[in-house]
Structure 1
Amino acid sequence: MRSKKSERRDLTQDKLIRAVGTVLSNQGFKGLGVNRVAKAAGVDKVLVYRYFGGLPELIEAYSKTVDFWPTVDELRGPNPDSLNRLKPDQQVAQFFKSFLSALRKRPTTQDILAWELLEKNQLSKHLEAIRNRTILEYFERLDQVPDNRMLSAVVVLMAGAVNHLIIKTRITRSIGGFDFDSQSSWGEVNAAIDLLCKGIFDS
């Protein structure tokens, strides 16, 4: 049985980790500091150093939470074995459709991505690292990585497009004649992802 002291420590750590997301969402990276995070968590700032070592380590802990970023297992879906039976273009398309769906569920992450366009510093790099690792691991866990010399460039370009769309729909729900309050608009985006990936890998 775990002691009450251990339970209190875990609770405090969780409060601090969640507070990082809250502060980043509302204040951006320039507004992120130990004092502000501790205040948002309702705890003494000394606990940031005691439990994490400092602000960079606390941000890294936040980056590893599912609240911020989807796991590879989430992106692979409930039937990951089926991914290996898909054609290369379908494997890549499925990644981006899952990626888009995962970001839509995370409004705080959407805000943070928007702040990154305006403010980049050493702290923001901690959040970039987990995103890159997730993409790499997704494709590494396929039995056969899609054979295309432009795969890395395609992933960068498509990821940028998905991020931009997610940020844009956080600001306005009407883009280019599409109503993104409607599920049918998202369905058309998914169909476009399928079409684009098929064109790239069939060429």
Structure 2
Amino acid sequence: MEKKNQEKRKRYSGSIRDKARTQKNLIEAVGKVLESQGYTGLKSAKNIADVAGVDKRLIWTYFNGVENLVEEYIKKNEFWKEGLSNELLNRLLTKAEDLDNEKMIFLLKSHFEKFRDDTALQKIITWEISEENEMLRKVADRREQLGEQLFSLIDEKFAKSNVDIRGVVALLLGGTYYLNLHAKANGSLFCGVDLNTEEGKNSILNAIEFIVNSSFDKLK
């Protein structure tokens, strides 16, 4: 009897490990398809399943559909928190005085470099601006909620200045997305800056630092 129970436990344990392994493979396959085929490749469950080496029906078994799988991939990778440790994030979200010009520069530079180097993230942003999609809207809304938490802490700092810090950051982030996508798409220059070179990258990083410092200087 005990031997049978042990065999059952082994089978159960094995099935759990198989499930976890399959889920991991499917999530990783989303990133591989994004990088090789772009977001249009994610519209085919077969594409993802083939890369993962599993039956496409398992996408519905474990994630209830492709959109939920893609959303899980984005959550797992935490694209919008890259370069930001949990300790720093928690501190920034509770103490407005901790979000000074140096930390703002760090956040924006980290995001710029993450976006520049991450093909999958570039494909996701391209997808966001290419079509209306409920799942991507939820992803964008979650990203906006994190930004709102940070902004709510620094709005008061700039309340008595003539600096619209939200507008400043919006332009810097929008520039981060467009300049990198433009450089990756056709390799051409933008205002004479080649973002595919270290010199071009440093030119933009220096501009981010200058703009943020200039904004905070208005508080003095």
Would the TM-score normalized by the shorter structure come out above 0.5?
yes
1:63 touches 1:130 (CA, 8 Å); kept in 2? no
Q: What CA distance in whole angstroms lies between the structure 1 residues aligned with 2:91 and 2:140?
A: 29
Q: 3-state SS of the aligned residue for 1:128? A: helix
The residue aligned with 2:176 is 162
Once superposed, which parts of structure 1, at least 4 consecutive aligned residues long, lie more than 4 Å away? 76-87
1:201 aligns with 2:216: yes
Q: Percent identity?
A: 24
Q: Which has the higher contact order (CA 8 A, sep 6+)?
A: 1
The residue aligned with 2:15 is 5
Q: What CA distance in whole angstroms lies between the structure 1 residues aligned with 2:26 and 2:204?
A: 36
How many equivalent residue pairs?
Answer: 198
Q: What CA distance in whole angstroms lies between the structure 2 residues aligned with 1:105 and 1:34?
A: 27
TM-score by length of 1: 0.77
| Counterpart selection for 1:182 from 197, 200, 203 | 197
2:194 touches 2:200 (CA, 8 Å); kept in 1? yes
Specify the code of the residue in structure 1 equivalent to 2:107: F
Superimposed CA distance per residue, residues 38-61 of structure 1 (whole angstroms, 9 cap, x where no aligned partner): 233221122112212222321221
The residue aligned with 2:137 is 125
Q: What CA distance in whole angstroms lies between the structure 1 residues aligned with 2:14 and 2:189?
A: 50
Q: What CA distance in whole angstroms lies between the structure 2 residues aligned with 1:27 and 1:179?
A: 23
Find the structure with the greater CA-based Rg: 2
1:115–1:16 distance in 2 versus 1, CA, 3 Å: same
1:32 aligns with 2:43: yes
1:13–1:120 distance in 2 versus 1, CA, 3 Å: same
Specify the code of the residue in structure 2 equivalent to 1:21: G
More helix by share: 2
* 1:1-203 aligned within 5 A: 3-25=13-35, 26-29=37-40, 32-66=43-77, 69-71=79-81, 74-76=83-85, 88-136=100-148, 139=150, 145=154, 147-149=157-159, 150-171=164-185, 172=187, 174-203=189-218
TM-score by length of 2: 0.72
Uncovered stretches (5+) of structure 1, i.e. residues with no partner: none
Q: 3-state SS of the aligned residue for 1:166? A: helix
Specify the code of the residue in structure 2 equivalent to 1:42: G
1:20 touches 1:37 (CA, 8 Å); kept in 2? yes
Q: What CA distance in whole angstroms lies between the structure 1 residues aligned with 2:90 and 2:16?
A: 39
1:10 Cα shift?
A: 1.6
Superimposed CA distance per residue, residues 116-138 of structure 1 (whole angstroms, 9 cap, x where no aligned partner): 3322322322432443344345x
